[in-house]
Amino acid sequence: MEEAKKQVVIFCKNGETLLFDEVANFGDSIDYIAFTYVGKSTNDAKVACFNISNIAGYSISKAVLDEYYAEEDD
């Protein structure tokens, strides 16, 4: 069975779309979303943080969402 992709897509107000792979540690609040991911060009672990007021929206893969809710239950 193929491992579920852990992705976050950010939809920018200017129409651009940003795709992040190998996402973990997703967190959100009224003001921001934040998560860790692995950079494609460097293969390094990175942290991303976006102010909600600066983006049009975002999409989270089910695998990331499941991990998020599992951590909340702890």
Q: Mean per-residue pLDDT for 58-70?
A: 92
| Residue 16 within any structural domain of the chain | yes
Backbone angles phi, psi at 70, to 5 degrees: -65, -40
CA 32, 17, 64, 3: dihedral to nearest 10 degrees? -160
Residue type, 9: V
Q: Which domain holds residue 15?
A: 8-73
Residue 72 pLDDT > 60, yes or no?
yes
The pLDDT confidence band at residue 74, using thresholds 50, 70 and 90, is low
Q: What is the pLDDT of residue 13?
A: 95
Question: Has residue 3 been placed in a domain?
Answer: no
Task: List Cβ neighbours of 32 (8 Å cut-off, separation of 6 or more).
Answer: 49, 50, 51, 52
Q: Tell me the pLDDT tens digit for each residue of 16-56.
A: 999 999 999 999 999 999 999 999 888 999 999 999 999 99
What's the total number of domains in the chain? 1
* Residue 60 in domain: yes
Q: Can you give the pTM of this predicted structure? A: 0.86
CATH code of residue 30: 2.30.30
CA 9 remoteness from chain centre: 7
- Asked, for residue 1, whether it belongs to a domain, the answer is no
